[in-house]
Amino acid sequence: MRILSLFVAALTLVGVARAGATLRVGPARTFTQIGPAVTAAVDGDLILVDPGSYLPFHVPGKGISIVAAGAAFTMQQPGSVPAIRIDNVVYPRQVSVIGAFIDYTNTNAPAIVVRDNTGAVRFSALQVTESVDLGATPARAVMRVVNTDTFWLLDSEIWSNQPRTALTLSPWGGFNDGVSALEMKHSDGIVQNVRLRGYDAGNAPNSGYGGDAVRVIGDSSVGLRDRLWSSPQSSILRGGSGGEFGGNALHYLGSRSNTHRMTTCGIVMYQPGTGFGMNGGKFALNHDGGVIGSVPFQVERLPIGCAALQSGSTTVAASTASVGSTVTSTVFTPFASRDYRVAMSLNTLYSRKINGLFGRSMLDASVPFFTFLDTLPPSFGVVNGSGTTSAGVPRTVSFTLPSAPSLVGSQIAVQTVTGPPGGTTDAFTFASLIVVVP
């Protein structure tokens, strides 16, 4: 197997990166709010946000990064607008938001809305606390993702340590429906290393449905996973408890198809909500091959687990890296004797399926993907091809970013391709992201 030098591979990224400006936001900075910094930013810019409390912001089609400078920054949500709104990001632009905190108390709007994006939208280290009962609300989910081709939520939570109640009008009929933590509609993406909890719908019969932890609607494809080897605890998807029906941990509502819309890997705890009429399910596949049971409207809950070759992961020690610093990634697979190569690209492009390869690609290349390990195109920025795996034993791969100002603001996807020794690539691991800071 051909091994490229780390430095040469990193220079591949430098050659196509554009030097972005760094805009600072904070009480003592040029910008005291995130919104004006977003307005001033252009594609490729990095917005570093000091700890503090900030008004809502809207990213209308720009390819930028908004990153916490140290501790998390807190988003306020007054009125009837989301705390964070990202829309009309056109490929190959992408947006990364790292380190936002939202104390969700708004009864008029979701905390976050992501919609109408052909470019990638990526959230990492997002914390949304479901801190109060919302009562009646028009929001169907805390985080709504609509018509977005590449969405990525990792190392994040939308959670409360105690049950919270919220009711909204169901779009499928005139009944109360629990508010979900995450709703994805006509969107593709990865939900990785998370805790998500749907709202309760009430404590009395006929008071509606519990909210789902993850609700997937329409032409969507979602991969869920947890880090098998490094997480202090498993990912948790918890449905809200209903009055009449409990919420589901993972719920798909869409047309019947032969495609596995939802794939799950790793140690993920699926915790359905309870209901007076019927408990929720770990998985619910309404209108997509679900089997109607003896109880009216009951749908058989059938998990769709990932294939063994899909269950590897590539993680990074931190979601930001300074120019000139060493980036440490860890490759894990459950198999022994697998050749692997860590690859990175300056863009994220979700692919549901690449013929001959298990798993979903998050890498973006400007040329077709070759199936042989030793012919990965340079546009992937291959950084290592350092040998074979051992079953269940993480392998560490480190590479140094050049001290190049043009890398600042780069949003890098890091993923590993694997295959049998000396053979052809047949699988992707799950991926991680890095945003380059000064």
Q: Would 297 be classed as within a structural domain?
A: no
Q: How far is CA 197 from CA 44, 115, 126, 178, 346, in A?
A: 34, 22, 14, 11, 32
d(CA 429, CA 301): 27
Q: Of 126-130, 165-169, 191-195, 368-372, give the range with the top mean pLDDT.
A: 126-130
Query: Which one-letter amino acid corresponds to residue 346?
Result: L
Q: Are 211 and 255 within one domain?
A: yes
Judging by beta carbons within 10 Å of its beta carbon (0-12, 13-18, 19+), is residue 137 exposed, middle or buried? middle
- The length of the chain in residues reads 438
Q: What is the pTM of this model?
A: 0.87
- Looking at the domain assignment, is residue 346 inside a domain? yes
Query: Is the same domain home to 132 and 236?
Result: yes
Q: Helix (H, G, I), strand (E, B), or coil: what is residue 285?
A: strand
Number of domains in the chain: 2
Range of the domain at 136: 85-286
CA distances from 156 to 95, 128, 153, 253, 330 (A): 16, 8, 7, 24, 19
Among residues 22, 27, 69, 60, the alpha carbon closest in space to that of 44 is found at: 22
In a domain, residue 371? The reply is: yes
Provide the pLDDT for residue 381.
36
Statement to judge: residues 326 and 226 lie in one domain: no
**Domain match, 256 and 327 both:** no
What is the signed CA dihedral for 362, 261, 159, 93, rounded to 10 degrees? Answer: 30
**Does residue 66 lie in a domain region?**
no
pLDDT (0 to 100) of residue 83: 98
pLDDT in tens, 2-59: 223 333 344 344 444 455 799 999 999 999 999 999 999 999 999 999 999 999 999 9
pLDDT tens column, 312-363: 788 888 899 998 898 888 887 777 777 777 777 777 887 766 666 677 777 7
- The residues facing 322 across adjacent strands are 437
Say if residue 264 is in the same domain as residue 355. Answer: no
Residue 177, both tokens = 């429906």
Of the pLDDT bands very low, low, confident and very high (cuts 50, 70, 90), residue 259 is low
Task: Give SS3 for 6.
Answer: helix
For residue 369, is it within any domain? yes
Q: From 153, 399, 434, select the one nearest 315 (Cα to Cα).
A: 434
49 within domain boundaries: no
Quote the CA–CA distance of 259 and 188 in Å, as a whole number.
13
